[in-house]
Amino acid sequence: MMQPPPAEPGMREEEVDTPALLLDLDAFEGNLDAMAALLAEHPVKLRAHAKTHKSPVIARLQMERGAIGQCVQKVAEAEVLAWGGIPDVMVTNQVWGARKLARLMALARISRVSVCTDDAAQVAAIEAAAEAAGVRIPVLVEIDVGAARCGVEPGPPAVELAERIAASRHLTFGGLQAYHGSAQHIRAPERRTETIAQAADAARRTVEQLRQRGLDCPVVGGAGTGTFRHEAASGVYTEIQAGSYAFMDADYARNEEAPPFRHALFVLATVMSAAQPHIAVVDAGHKAIPTDSGLPLVWDRPGVSYAGASDEHGKLTVEDPSLRPRLGEKLRLVPGHCDPTVDRFDWYVGVRKGRVESLWPVAARGAMA
Amino acid sequence: MMQPPPAEPGMREEEVDTPALLLDLDAFEGNLDAMAALLAEHPVKLRAHAKTHKSPVIARLQMERGAIGQCVQKVAEAEVLAWGGIPDVMVTNQVWGARKLARLMALARISRVSVCTDDAAQVAAIEAAAEAAGVRIPVLVEIDVGAARCGVEPGPPAVELAERIAASRHLTFGGLQAYHGSAQHIRAPERRTETIAQAADAARRTVEQLRQRGLDCPVVGGAGTGTFRHEAASGVYTEIQAGSYAFMDADYARNEEAPPFRHALFVLATVMSAAQPHIAVVDAGHKAIPTDSGLPLVWDRPGVSYAGASDEHGKLTVEDPSLRPRLGEKLRLVPGHCDPTVDRFDWYVGVRKGRVESLWPVAARGAMA
């Protein structure tokens, strides 16, 4: 069941029912503008990652500022975007299974859809699905640029797979997917620089080898909020796949040279218990604000720490009892990791200058298939 | 939006779309029966915790085996159970806010609802809401038996709050809530024993002091899957609030003396990438199988480890490449923590002897308000 919205337009922020997913619209729009300005200096395009926001509304706001399309991780996310009118959606992931591929091909009738692969058997399955649906789609080869997760080795194995795609009647070779996920969260800027330089070298070498075999590589995609300035300046990446930049989270802010974006996403929580002098308990535990990338921060309340999350309780501690939030008080929490936090809610509550301005559904909430 | 069901009754397990929340019905029913048998030896009742299962269907199956009602943490969960026909629901938590309290009182027209408190101002707010709705509900005093989260101190502070409840025209004193959450996950059995002995002593002392003041304490509630045998044998607890026992998870199984229940809950996942000899990547990362209590286990596949979770990727590693799961293979994963895992899905897929037998909605999925 979809949960009812926790607010109505016009309400004051203090009236919003909790826990709620709050979007500070001034900060959010500022982040979208800042990314557009930063990328304008480079010959790259933004293909923003919708696994963060899961919203056709936000996708459209990104595209109004120059993004050429959207990325997703799952077919079910691609459906929500395509059904919501987004004209260009790339699945930056492998898709396995005839039912999922048939759903993806059905979308190719209403939007440009593309998908990644790292296996010849997957290429054959995608070709069969495209043929059955009577469509033709671009397929990218994912190369492992150091994250040791998905992707074939750069160089000859990637070229071989690209040739197989290009030789498939209902597929076109769409380019290289060269995302280094774990690099996003490396704390030291010089180590991030070095890691992405190596990834860019691997991509560049593969593009050259493709060219030697007569294959043009229209796209080299990758990058996230932690590293995009390096990929943008590399001269080899053509599409930047950042997502978190729109919201920012506590984990990205912990990088030594944090990205130039403001915290725009919060979980609004209420103090529901304050029975002990050094403890206040809020109604947002890790079911509301996942802790996979660390605990949340308490916004704008020096001396108050979010010290522990259980399922439905967030335990705030203070060293000085006079700083303890009072029973019933509403507090903004900065998520440790924005992506899974968004996916816990059905609604964005957009606020500006202390008032609720908009309600947008997290339309691809739970779209994991 | 609610996601479509990933299966239909009659399908083979291998045909279920992934990721999916799989319930092994034989193991699940065995766990329900085992708990009923274990508690039959003691003068306590089961009030199973629905924060784990979030399903009126499962609540009913527990009550058919003797459970006297259900616990929840949130008003929104209470609504789903009461609307689903469950006649007795206790909110084992504090509730703050006039809107939430009004919703809770509305439920008192169709089910017996009760709620906890640890603050005199909350008692006044609950009384006002009950008066406005023209209902009368039981309110329990939560005491802190060692978890240092919610709850007043045992003894005089608890008695004072109980007297305040009893003196409220639309409230009755419902008893003591004496749950020790952190004790559930203490690994060494002797330390769990000792911790619950202290909790039971605190509750017993408070019950005696209530009696001295002329207040009968009809309920002492608490306990979870990690400790319930101690509370059941204590002679002071009257209601056992275990929830995870129905499913079991990897974290409870890591306790040195694990509870006598079988793993019944799994996330079914598909290998979507196997491009490297020691790695297979499944389509269930921490958005599908939260890692707050540790990584999942790969079921029935010795030599294969779930080594890391990102948002939508689960990285499996093998030391021996011949054991690597193949592309497209479906694997059962045992969640590290069943409660947040259930809350990631819209559907239970009930399987028996390799076939899908039932689909039940996770009706209170996302019910955090």
| Mutate which: B54, B96, B330, vs A, most A CBs within 10 A | B96
Q: 3-state SS of A163-194?
A: HHHHCCCCEEEEEEECCCCHHHHCCCHHHHHH
Residue A1: pLDDT band (50, 70, 90) is confident
CB contact under 8 A, A119 and B363: no
| Mutate which: B1, B123, B331, vs A, most A CBs within 10 A | B1
* A82-117: pLDDT as tens digits: 999 999 999 999 999 999 999 999 999 999 999 999
- The single-letter code of the amino acid at B219 is V
Q: Which CATH number fits domain A13-21+260-361: 2.40.160.20, 2.40.37.20, 1.10.3720.10, 2.60.40.10?
A: 2.40.37.20
* B96-138: pLDDT as tens digits: 999 999 999 999 999 999 999 999 999 999 999 999 999 999 9
Residue A16: pLDDT band (50, 70, 90) is very high
| Run of H or E including B63 | helix B56-64
* A38-56: pLDDT as tens digits: 999 999 999 999 999 999 9
Contact between A207 and A252 (Cβ < 8 Å): no
Please list every residue in chain B whose beta carbon sits closer than 8 Å to the beta carbon of residue A80: 1
B365 touches chain A (CB under 8 A): yes
Characterize the bridge pairing of strands A347-352 and A314-318: unpaired
CB contact under 8 A, B311 and A51: yes
Return the structure tokens found at A260. Answer: 């130039």
CB contact under 8 A, A291 and B292: yes
Contact between A299 and A333 (Cβ < 8 Å): yes
Q: What φ, ψ does residue A290 adopt, rounded to 5°?
A: -55, 150
Contacts of A206 (CB under 8 A, 6+ apart): A143, A154, A155, A158, A159, A176, A217
CB contact under 8 A, B281 and A366: no
B310 touches chain A (CB under 8 A): yes
Bridge partners of residue A351, in order along the sequence: A24, A356
Q: What is the location of CATH 2.40.37.20 in chain A?
A: 13-21+260-361
How large is the average pLDDT for residues A277-290? Answer: 97
What's the pLDDT score for residue B1? 72
B292 touches chain A (CB under 8 A): yes
How large is the average pLDDT for residues A271-279? Answer: 96
A234 touches chain B (CB under 8 A): no
Cis amide linkage into residue A19, ω under 30° from 0: yes
Interface of B with A in 175-194 (CB under 8 A): 181
pLDDT at A2 over 90: no
The CATH homologous superfamily for domain B25-249 is: Alanine racemase (3.20.20.10)
Q: What is the location of CATH 3.20.20.10 in chain B?
A: 25-249
pLDDT less than 50: residues of chain B: none
B284 touches chain A (CB under 8 A): yes
Q: How far apart are CA B269 and CA B288, in angstroms?
A: 9
Q: How far apart are CA A224 and CA A244, in angstroms?
A: 8
Neighbours of A246 (CB within 10 A): 27
Contacts of A226 (CB under 8 A, 6+ apart): A183, A184, A185, A186, A192, A252, A255, A259
Q: How far apart are CA A107 and CA A74, in angstroms?
A: 13
Q: How far apart are CA A178 and CA A205, in angstroms?
A: 12
CA dihedral A334, A337, A340, A343 (to 10 degrees): 30
* A221-256: pLDDT as tens digits: 999 999 999 999 999 999 999 999 999 999 999 998
Among B292, B243, B286, smallest CA distance to B265 is for B243
Return the structure tokens found at A49. Answer: 């990652």
ipTM metric: 0.96
Q: How far apart are CA A114 and CA A131, in angstroms?
A: 15
| Run of H or E including B225 | none
Q: How far is CA A157 from the centre of its chain?
A: 28
Bridge partners of residue B297, in order along the sequence: B334
DSSP symbols for B118-171: S-HHHHHHHHHHHHHHT--EEEEEEB-SSSSSS-BPTTHHHHHHHHHHHTSTTE
